Amino acid sequence: MSKKVIIIGGEGNGGIIASCIEDNRERFNDLEWEVVGFVNDYEKEVCGYPVLSGTNNISKLVENKEYYFMWGIHMIGRNILTEQVFRKVNIPQERFATIIHKTAFVAKSVILESGVFVMFNCYIGPQTHIGQCSLIMANSLIGHDTKVGALCHFSLGSITGSYITIGLCSDVALGAKVLEKRKIGNYAVAGANSLITHDIPDYEIHVGSPAKFLKRVRED
């Protein structure tokens, strides 16, 4: 019997998670997970699935032990708010699902914490550690011996080298490239299509090739 999963979010990241589960079921006959609905504060239906509650009353769903959850909220540039919402829903770690598309390569020695999502055609190299509820979108590559904090987001086509350290709730944005042995701090952003040749401090957004400081993330 399939395990029932509820996605927290909307049609963006949440819809991608749902489509991954659907594709694994339909093309690869992987029936481990089944989407039963969403948690969303604004909609009544997301991607054809019912919205079962908002974030304020999610505890009623958590009380049902047959439900697992996937985190699908990530507000680039408002990373601090993303973490605040995550703390508010207060879901036990063991109740998060870990979803991996069947076309992804994840080395045997990789550690994926609970709630990690890995989409189509991704690569995660040996000895890498991915933190809780991080989202790795399609065609993203993460090299070996890299450590990623919780709630991070790797956008479509991003490339993260080896021996990288990434802090809490940070981003490697669309098509960005991070060279080896760099450090990206907490709530930081490697901007879209950027080449990261240096460390990025906490709370900063860096863009360009080579990347330079643009501004700080919003802290409200």
Delimit the domains of the chain by residue range: 3-80, 99-215
- pLDDT of 76 reads 86
- pLDDT of 77 reads 84
- pLDDT of 207 reads 98
The sheet that has 183-184: what strands, in order across it? 111-112, 129-130, 147-148, 165-166, 183-184
What digits encode the pLDDT tens for the residues 130-169?
999 999 999 999 999 999 999 999 999 999 999 999 999 9
Please state which of the four CATH numbers 3.30.70.100, 3.40.50.300, 3.40.50.20, 3.40.50.2300 is assigned to the domain occupying 3-80.
3.40.50.20
Q: Report residue 81: phi and psi, to 5°.
A: -65, -40
Q: Quick check: 175 pLDDT over 90? A: yes
The domains spanning 3-80 and 99-215 adopt the same CATH topology: no
Pairing relationship of beta strands 129-130 and 111-112 according to DSSP bridges? parallel
- pLDDT of 153 reads 98
Q: Quick check: 11 pLDDT over 80? A: yes
What digits encode the pLDDT tens for the residues 118-131?
999 999 999 999 99
- pLDDT of 96 reads 98
Please state which of the four CATH numbers 2.160.10.10, 1.20.120.1770, 3.40.190.10, 3.40.366.10 is assigned to the domain occupying 99-215.
2.160.10.10
Q: Quick check: 220 pLDDT over 80? A: no
Mean pLDDT over residues 42-67, rounded? 96
Share the mean pLDDT of the chain: 97
H/E run at residue 99: strand 99-100
- pLDDT of 214 reads 96
Mean pLDDT over residues 85-113, rounded? 97
Q: Is 202:219 a contact under the CB 8 Å cutoff?
A: no
